[in-house]
Chain A
Amino acid sequence: MKFTLSWLKKHLDTTASVDEITYALTDLGLEVEGVENPADKLKTFTLAKVKHAEQHPDADRLRVCTVETDEGDKQIVCGAPNARAGITVVLAKPGDYVPGIDVTLSVGNIRGVESHGMMASERELELSDEHDGIIELPSGEVGERFIDWLAQNDPAKVDPVIEIAITPNRPDALGVQGIARDLAARGLGTLKTKPVDPVPASFTADTKVVIDADTLDGCPLFCGRIIRGVKNGPSPQWLQDALRAIGLRPINFLVDVTNFFTYDRNRPLHVFDMAKVTGDLRVHRAAGGEELLALDGKTYKLQPGQMVISDAKGPESIAGIMGGEETGCTDETTDVFVESAYWDPIQIAYTGRALKINSDARYRFERGVDPAFTPEGLELAVRMIVDHAGGESSDLIQAGAVPDTSRAYKLDPARVISLVGMEIPEAEQRQTLTALGFRLEGNMAHVPSWRPDVLGEADLVEEVARIASLTKLQGKPMRRMDPGVPKPILSPMQRRERAARRTAAALGYNECVTYSFIDKASATLFGGGDDATMLANPISADMSHMRPALLPGLLQAAARNQARGFMDLALFELGHAFHGGEPEEQHLMLSGVLIGKTGPKNVHGTARPVDVFDAKADAEAILAAMGAPAKTQILRGASDWWHPGRHGMICLGPKKVLGVFGELHPKVLKAMDVKGPVVGFTLWPQEIPLPRKTGATRPALVLNDLQAVERDFAFVVDAQVAALDLMNAAAGADKALISDVRLFDEFIGGSLGEGKKSLAITVRLQPTDSTLKEADIEAVGKKIIEKVEKATGGVLRG
């Protein structure tokens, strides 16, 4: 919303400066987005008079002028054709910045003649594009500031333009008068109110207006008057200036009047050229399919139920949103129907959205104009038209009635103070509301018709608080919920997330935050991409579906980094993925990927390609940090984006999958343009059972003084036998005695023959009551060999 200072002053009697006004506006909740004050760049220029102008001795086009200034006579060289003795000019002195030529003046020497300043043209001062000569003023005294002269003689040129942002609850501030009312309530002046002076009716209108019964809820009131014999054409200068200053293009007087009241009073109006209207006007709902060429030059197809104004020929205006081109007013218009109607905000919002029309009328009607002002707004417009363009006006044509919006809410001064935390005396609270147009009856505040946003006691609090100024609010300590040391506040799951994230980083992974939406193809590769997880209005095709997993985002990130030349990558993300489109269908995951080598090529020769067991170790470390049990099963059969032979699910039983590690399927990598191989893992933190609450106490540490013994065994088994099965079998041979089984060698093929491998383990025996004797060790060894053979078919390697 833009307005000029002089426009504001039509409604506000004030001596406040622009700075005071803008400060107050922002503080009141009418946030100033910009102030353009033309006087700022003109304030150094003063008036001067040319005493003599003589031909430059060395240049045909230049004159050497003697100019009377407030600092005495000065010599100025000037090239303007109109530079001559006797004229009053605008002087820029050395040191002044001239905006139109972007130069700070200094004493010049033009072809051997000194020049102490310049006499400016309008273009040089950015007042217009005029550059045929220097400015010649019809009046003014030498030394007078140019901006003072302008303020007196051409105020529009120095009228500051203020732009404010209006929050959706304040339609009243979409009119300059409403802004003035707020400022007056703040104490920055007095609101000027002028009684409406209706034009007497000269004839009885023969055009009727009807509102269909099913449309009365959308258009409770429609007012109009017909003016015959107007002389349309360009608007008076003040109106053109006012509209131009706020960025509107003057069109013709009749149209400009409607625009003026739109901004002056938040009262959109419409004018029909009566010569082009056939028969009566009818406000009704579209049947659907009707087409209308609107004033913006576009043709709109109406949807069933949308409100239109039709004449005998058909739709002529999209009600409350935009008029039709057909019946629009032109310079030739002589008979005009001025419309002032009240339209239901919700219906206007829906129609505007559906037709995608953004007009000043829609913007205002959907936020809510003052319904009670509908007839007055009409009278103001008719008065302005008749006064300037002549003609005679019909009587009032009215259909419907002013909707009743009267309501009142209790002002509870103590509650205001309690909610805001600021001591605002009751008298001041009442004064504020009164100044804003509320009518107080006892402690009931009756809401003015222009404030549709005030719908309860809380709104009264807001009005009082913002006029009192929230800037003045002093912070008051909020007491703790409980005295003393604050209690921990994270849930076990939140702690788990933190532990997982920091462990992954400690293991050398860089945390990524990737978008929650990805392209359909990538989503599909990871089991998503269905309609349930599809956005109805994605911002681009790359972001069309909610991610079914974190891996696709990480792989895309990897591909981007590879394209930048980073080939060794360790990335992870902790976040939610979506298995459906319902609120509860999101689940927490942690995924990591490892690509390339374990590190850069180095002098120690330690860099090697990453492999599945790097991913496995990291997955297990992160699971451990999240409190997962150490003892898990490794099963195969995870989703098909994993390498079928190179992945494992870390499980507590076949249904309880805590995570998957492995190599990504080459097809997936190819589809996503990632240079593989890639290993990685996905963990589901919520799957890890919460520990039973046992307090902080640890179980007692049992240390055994008896010497432990380690024995190595190597078994030949089929190549497909799982090492974990073999180790579990060995460990089961004597659960009391065997404290640990470690695999230390795997050897495939060679002398063992096709399809065979050798697995070598170290078994640690930890006696608890007496030192082990050779016979005991022998016995356990035998049992281990039996168990392993039974479980895996493995035989001790000779």
Chain B
Amino acid sequence: MNDLRDKYIGLIAAAGDESTLEDLRVQAVGKKGEISLLMRELGKMSPEERQTAGPALNALKDEINSALSAKKAALEDAALDERLRGEWLDVTLPGRPRRMGTIHPISQVTEEVTAIFADMGFSVAEGPQIDTDWYNFDALNIPGHHPARAEMDTFYMHRAEGDNRPPHVLRTHTSPVQIRSMEKTGAPIRVIAPGRVYRADYDQTHTPMFHQVEGLAIDKDISMANLKWVLEEFVKAYFEVDDVELRFRASHFPFTEPSAEVDIRCSWEGGTLKVGEGDDWLEILGSGMVHPKVLQNAGVDPSEWQGFAFGMGIDRIAMLKYGIPDLRAFFDSDLRWLRHYGFAALDVPTLHAGLS
């Protein structure tokens, strides 16, 4: 029996392919295989003989079987290895190109601003870009002769002959949305109004169209000190700094009183802006307490309600935060610019994950 074992184990080990292996299986443990034939002999043996020969034969059969399957697995592995060797690829080839879209900085920054103010309870209001001179000027306490009208470089819409209404304007600021929002919902109110605004001016820092975000908060007891806090919180969150110093400078806007221009402390060392440190001041917005006449014009009783408003350039704060040098390029749609300054589609600014 040992001879038999040695013979087959040897043959199995030497088998070079699956068909040889199959032949060996038939020869050894197939129906008419040598071991099967020996097992048939068992019936002719005495019980004593059978007691030793039976287990021995079974053990031999098991051993041959497992040798067969082990060899089979080994052959398969070898065959697979051989195939995989042939499947070698130059993995330094580039992947299939995929188009990468981008979100424009204006949209991204608008969402950042929205996220911050939403947390402070401001919702987002909208208004028309072509507006009446009432909403753009008169309602905001800028009468027809006011020098501010001339200073704003207003775009006027064409008026058809016979139509004697004052010409509509392309809104010169987002402030008319204050009036429209208060008319719609009354007080108390907290809204921001981001959007396009227009002024007839064109150079490196002025484009005839740009973007502003208006803020308006009206309640029983809102003060200019609250305005300062809100803006401090905004600037810290937006520029992602722990602390920032704001400077309120008395100024004048017809629709707020008192009015203040707001500067933030910054440094321009090495040509990059660092907010919250240094000795420079950077003007970022205009603000103030809403003028009683403006409240009145929007149907809100100024003896009962008070609050603040501010207006800030979205393009401007985008340029400051992301180091974008030229305003004009925002509207040029140069693919290189869009790719360089744009944001990934899924890079949604949130307060919990971060704004940039």
A: residues with CB less than 8 A from B are: 26-29, 31, 167-170, 345-346, 349-350, 353, 366-367, 418-422, 456-459, 461-462, 465-466, 469-471, 473-478, 480-482, 486, 488-491, 494, 498, 501-517, 531-539, 543, 546, 554, 557, 560-561, 564, 566, 569-572, 574-576, 578, 581-586, 598-600, 602-604, 606-607
Q: Which A residue sits closest to B200, measured CB to CB?
A: A539
List B233-254 residues whose CB lies under 8 Å from chain A: 246-252, 254
What would 10 more interface pairs be, CB under 8 Å, given A168-B151, A503-B345? Answer: A419-B224, A419-B289, A462-B250, A489-B121, A490-B114, A506-B345, A513-B330, A554-B333, A583-B135, A583-B168
Verify A167–B252 contact, CB threshold 8 A: yes
- Chain B residues near A561 (CB-CB < 8 A): 333-335
Q: How far is the CB of A4 from chain B (nearest CB, A)?
A: 23
List B125-177 residues whose CB lies under 8 Å from chain A: 128-132, 135, 144-148, 150-151, 155-160, 167-168, 170
B119 at the interface (CB under 8 A from A): yes
What is the size, in residues, of chain B's interface with A at 8 Å between Cβ atoms? 97
B342 at the interface (CB under 8 A from A): yes
Once bound together, how far apart are the Cα atoms of A543 and B101, in whole Å? Answer: 28
Q: Which of A456, A462, A494 contacts B124 (CB 8 A)?
A: A494
Q: Which of A477, A510, A533, A606 contacts B229 (CB 8 A)?
A: A477
Verify B98–A582 contact, CB threshold 8 A: no
Q: How far is the CB of A478 from chain B (nearest CB, A)?
A: 4
Once bound together, how far apart are the Cα atoms of A546 and B168, in whole Å? Answer: 13
Q: Which B residue sits closest to A605, measured CB to CB?
A: B96
Q: Which of B70-78, B215-223, B268-276 contacts A (4 or more CB under 8 A)?
A: B215-223
Given known pairs A510-B101, A534-B157, the reply for A564 and B130 (CB within 8 Å) is no
- Chain B residues near A516 (CB-CB < 8 A): 129, 170, 196, 198, 209
Verify A511–B342 contact, CB threshold 8 A: yes
- Chain B residues near A598 (CB-CB < 8 A): 99
Q: How far is the CB of B318 from chain A (nearest CB, A)?
A: 11
B86 at the interface (CB under 8 A from A): no
Q: Which of B168, B170, B335 contacts A569 (CB 8 A)?
A: B335
Q: How far is the CB of B75 from chain A (nearest CB, A)?
A: 35
Verify A515–B331 contact, CB threshold 8 A: yes
Q: Which of B1-9, B17-25, B60-68, B104-112 contacts A (4 or more CB under 8 A)?
A: B104-112
Q: How far is the CB of A133 from chain B (nearest CB, A)?
A: 43
Once bound together, how far apart are the Cα atoms of A581 and B229, in whole Å? Answer: 40
Would you give the 0/1 interface string for B289-300, flagging 1 where the beta carbon is closer than 8 Å to chain A? 101110000000
Q: Which of A418, A494, A508 contacts B223 (CB 8 A)?
A: A418
B353 at the interface (CB under 8 A from A): no
- Chain A residues near B145 (CB-CB < 8 A): 345-346, 349-350, 366
Verify B97–A606 contact, CB threshold 8 A: yes
- Chain B residues near A474 (CB-CB < 8 A): 225, 228
B14 at the interface (CB under 8 A from A): no
Closest 6 CB pairs of A and B: A421-B225, A508-B99, A421-B223, A29-B250, A475-B229, A466-B250
Once bound together, how far apart are the Cα atoms of A731 and B147, in whole Å? Answer: 69
Q: Which B residue sits closest to A599, measured CB to CB?
A: B97
A-B contact pairs, 23 of them (CB 8 A): A29-B251, A418-B306, A420-B289, A458-B257, A461-B258, A462-B250, A462-B257, A466-B250, A473-B224, A475-B230, A478-B217, A482-B121, A486-B121, A498-B111, A511-B107, A512-B333, A513-B331, A534-B158, A536-B158, A539-B155, A583-B128, A583-B168, A586-B129
- Chain B residues near A350 (CB-CB < 8 A): 145
Verify B223–A501 contact, CB threshold 8 A: no
Verify A506–B346 contact, CB threshold 8 A: yes
Verify B156–A510 contact, CB threshold 8 A: no
Q: Tell which of B130, B135, B155 has the most Cβ of chain A within 10 Å.
A: B130
- Chain B residues near A570 (CB-CB < 8 A): 99, 101
Once bound together, how far apart are the Cα atoms of A187 and B198, in whole Å? Answer: 41
- Chain A residues near B155 (CB-CB < 8 A): 535-539
- Chain B residues near A584 (CB-CB < 8 A): 128
Q: Which B residue sits closest to A540, measured CB to CB?
A: B202
Verify B250–A28 contact, CB threshold 8 A: yes
Given known pairs A29-B252, A513-B331, A515-B209, the reply for A583 and B345 (CB within 8 Å) is no
Inter-chain CB contacts under 8 Å: number: 280
- Chain B residues near A539 (CB-CB < 8 A): 155, 200-202, 208
Once bound together, how far apart are the Cα atoms of A534 and B198, in whole Å? Answer: 14
Q: How far is the CB of B269 from chain A (nearest CB, A)?
A: 22
B15 at the interface (CB under 8 A from A): no
Q: Tell which of B98, B157, B261, B346 has the most Cβ of chain A within 10 Å.
A: B157
Given known pairs A168-B146, A419-B306, the reply for A560 and B333 (CB within 8 Å) is yes
Q: Which A residue sits closest to B189, measured CB to CB?
A: A481
Given known pairs A350-B145, A506-B346, the reply for A27 and B249 (CB within 8 Å) is yes
Once bound together, how far apart are the Cα atoms of A477 and B228, in whole Å? Answer: 9
B321 at the interface (CB under 8 A from A): no
Once bound together, how far apart are the Cα atoms of A350 and B123, in whole Å? Answer: 40
Q: Which A residue sits closest to B155, measured CB to CB?
A: A535
- Chain A residues near B259 (CB-CB < 8 A): 29, 462
Q: How far is the CB of A23 from chain B (nearest CB, A)?
A: 11
B91 at the interface (CB under 8 A from A): no
Q: Which B residue sits closest to A165, measured CB to CB?
A: B251
Once bound together, how far apart are the Cα atoms of A566 and B334, in whole Å? Answer: 10
Verify B209–A486 contact, CB threshold 8 A: no
Given known pairs A478-B226, A511-B107, the reply for A168 and B346 (CB within 8 Å) is no
Once bound together, how far apart are the Cα atoms of A504 and B104, in whole Å? Answer: 12
Q: Tell which of B170, B258, B345 has the most Cβ of chain A within 10 Å.
A: B258
Verify B96–A606 contact, CB threshold 8 A: yes
Given known pairs A470-B250, A475-B228, A584-B128, the reply for A510 and B335 (CB within 8 Å) is yes
Q: How far is the CB of A543 from chain B (nearest CB, A)?
A: 6
Q: How far is the CB of B261 from chain A (nearest CB, A)?
A: 8
Q: Which of A29, A480, A501, A543 contacts B107 (CB 8 A)?
A: A501
Once bound together, how far apart are the Cα atoms of A395 and B86, in whole Å? Answer: 117
Verify B225–A480 contact, CB threshold 8 A: no
B12 at the interface (CB under 8 A from A): no
- Chain B residues near A168 (CB-CB < 8 A): 146-148, 151, 252
Verify A537–B289 contact, CB threshold 8 A: no
Q: Which of B150, B188, B333 contacts A481 (CB 8 A)?
A: B188
B84 at the interface (CB under 8 A from A): no
Once bound together, how far apart are the Cα atoms of A459 and B291, in whole Å? Answer: 9
Verify B102–A505 contact, CB threshold 8 A: yes
- Chain A residues near B158 (CB-CB < 8 A): 531-532, 534-536, 581
Q: Tell which of B114, B122, B338 has the most Cβ of chain A within 10 Å.
A: B338
Verify A480–B156 contact, CB threshold 8 A: no
Once bound together, how far apart are the Cα atoms of A552 and B351, in whole Å? Answer: 37
Given known pairs A345-B145, A346-B145, the reply for A465 and B258 (CB within 8 Å) is yes
Q: How far is the CB of B326 from chain A (nearest CB, A)?
A: 14
B277 at the interface (CB under 8 A from A): no
Once bound together, how far apart are the Cα atoms of A624 and B231, in whole Å? Answer: 38
Q: How far is the CB of B307 from chain A (nearest CB, A)?
A: 10
Once bound together, how far apart are the Cα atoms of A570 and B335, in whole Å? Answer: 9
Verify A420–B223 contact, CB threshold 8 A: yes
Q: How far is the CB of B328 from chain A (nearest CB, A)?
A: 11
Q: How far is the CB of A59 from chain B (nearest CB, A)?
A: 47
Once bound together, how far apart are the Cα atoms of A276 and B177, in whole Å? Answer: 56
Once bound together, how far apart are the Cα atoms of A514 and B107, in whole Å? Answer: 13
Q: Which B residue sits closest to A486, measured CB to CB?
A: B119
Verify A478–B97 contact, CB threshold 8 A: no
